[in-house]
Amino acid sequence: MSRGWESKSVEEQQAEAIRPKGEPRPHLTAEQAAKKREKDSLLLSRNGVVQQMETTRNGRRKEMLEAALADLNAKISQLG
């Protein structure tokens, strides 16, 4: 079952809460940060498509969503 759009930030907040206070955040280069933002955006889009697939009854719409999901999965796998 897919989770809501806001679940990513909740997970990050929980991870922050359990991290030891003395442990610094990992510093990312500008390129790494951009790559992370792009991957997070793709994952959010993917979750939205999955949610739509679960609720649609229209066959043509489902085919379109399956194509979009395949495209998003390919882009996510390219990012690593």
Query: What are the domain boundaries of the chain?
Result: 49-80
What is the arithmetic mean of pLDDT over 4-21?
64
Task: State the pLDDT at residue 23.
Answer: 64
Read off the pLDDT of residues 39-72 as tens digits, 9 standing for 90 and up.
999 999 999 999 999 999 999 999 999 999 999 9
pTM of the model: 0.66
Q: How far is CA 68 from CA 28, 30, 75, in A?
A: 30, 28, 11
Task: State the pLDDT at residue 39.
Answer: 94
* Confidence tier at 74 by pLDDT (50, 70, 90): very high
Task: State the pLDDT at residue 28.
Answer: 83
